[in-house]
Amino acid sequence: MLRALAVSPGPSSAVSIGADHVSVVQLARGSGPPQLAGYARVGLPDGAVTPSITGQNIQDAQAVNGAVDEALRQLPRRPPRVALVMPDGAAKVSIIRFDEPPIRVADLDELIRWQVGGSAPFRLDEAQLAWTPGVRDDAGAQSFVTVLARRDVVKEYEAVCDAVAARAGVADLACINLLNAALARGAGDDGGDWMLVQTVGDAASIAIVRSDRLLFFRHMPADGGRVEDLVHQTVMYYQDRLGGRGLMRALIVGEGHVDTVIAERLPELPTERLVDRLAPLMDDRGAGGTAPLELLAAPIGILLRDRSRAVEMPAA
């Protein structure tokens, strides 16, 4: 769905760095349907990574570097280049709308930068900004999805890959690539609206997608409230402000009681686990590794996006 922050031709291995663990995945070589060749997860000590838009993220570089190195050693092939997935709290995702956006890309880019810069918690000359077209509404207004991150924050995560001789060829956010994983496994094929809810500890991210275009996104940090309130507020906003046409399904990622919350508040909305769509990737070839599939979904997504209807996103 999104090509963000740093881009070069896609690798076949991915590293995901989260607040409490790192995970790696590697796709099997070949031109057939994608299959996992290997994967691994290694835990991190408390406080080693503290996702933040404005502050330092990698607090214990030695621990994080060691965890990534240990995970990469478990893959069938040691990759010299990887795709990098960062936690949602490391960047700001916004959706902005223009009634009549400029036709020239340079003018549009300048207008988006001006719009985003007005609410950015840091100067744009310190940031990396990427954007992609979103949904065009019934009145003709065009939305754009923007991803904004401080340049030094992105470099913190890239430095981890550099330290273990695995250069990051592309960098993006976790929830964005959960959406890419879902799209690659048919989530938007019916053209309707659907929702994805991700929980990571007490933090959560929620997205609503129209076919393969992001309509709504919000990240709630660990101290930001309750996930049930986030789900309720999002659905109300979707219905009242976004011209909701009715959600086809909700895809759930992470632990917690999101399934129960949706069943109680939105009993007519079907729910499913994203991992159920990804399970066929582990068939036939018997990929080696030890990690819950749910923790591999985002790095799988960043590798599958070239094979799905992911939207091209220019790098900053």
Collect all residues with Cβ–Cβ distance below 8 Å to 24 and sequence separation of at least 6: 13, 14, 15, 16, 38, 39, 40, 41, 68, 71, 72, 74, 75, 82, 299
Beta partners for 26? Answer: 13, 38
| Helix (H/G/I), strand (E/B), else coil: 245 | coil
Q: What is the mean pLDDT of residues 233-251?
A: 91
Give the C-alpha separation, 220 to 169, whole Å.
Answer: 28
Q: What is the mean pLDDT of residues 80-94?
A: 96
- Of 136, 7, 121, whose CA–CA distance to 53 is shortest? 121
Least confident of 52-56, 185-189, 200-204, 303-307: 303-307
Q: Which two tokens stand for residue 102?
A: 């400029």
For domain 13-91+150-307, say whether CATH 3.30.70.920 is its number.
Answer: no
Contacts 24+ apart (CB under 8 A), 119-122: 119/94, 120/92, 120/148, 121/53, 121/54, 121/92, 122/53, 122/54, 122/150
Element (H, E) at 220: strand 213-220
Question: Given this model, what pLDDT does residue 9 score?
Answer: 52
The CA-atom distances, in angstroms, between 250 and each of 13, 42, 100, 155, 201 are 28, 29, 32, 34, 19
Give yes or no for residue 77 having a pLDDT over 80.
yes
Give the C-alpha separation, 90 to 38, whole Å.
Answer: 27
Placement of tokens 């960047």 in the chain: 91
Q: Read off the pLDDT of residues 245-293 as tens digits, 9 standing for 90 and up.
A: 899 999 999 877 888 888 888 888 899 999 899 888 875 444 455 457 8
Q: Which two tokens stand for residue 94?
A: 């916004």
Q: Give the strand pairing for 193-200 and 203-210.
A: antiparallel
Give the C-alpha separation, 157 to 108, whole Å.
Answer: 29
Give yes or no for residue 294 having a pLDDT over 80.
yes
What is the sign of the dihedral through the CA atoms of 261, 263, 268 and 270? Answer: positive
Question: Given this model, what pLDDT does residue 243 score?
Answer: 84
Give the C-alpha separation, 153 to 19, whole Å.
Answer: 14
Q: State the pTM of this model.
A: 0.89
Cβ atoms of 128 and 113 within 8 Å: the answer is: no
What is the sign of the dihedral through the CA atoms of 27, 30, 35 and 37? Answer: negative
% the chain with pLDDT above 90 = 67
Mean pLDDT over all residues of the chain?
88
Give the C-alpha separation, 218 to 225, whole Å.
Answer: 13
Cβ atoms of 161 and 171 within 8 Å: the answer is: no
Cα(first)–Cα(last) distance of the chain, in Å? 16
Cβ atoms of 203 and 220 within 8 Å: the answer is: yes
Give the C-alpha separation, 66 to 73, whole Å.
Answer: 11
Return the axis-axis angle of helices 61-72 and 151-163, rounded to nearest 10°: 50
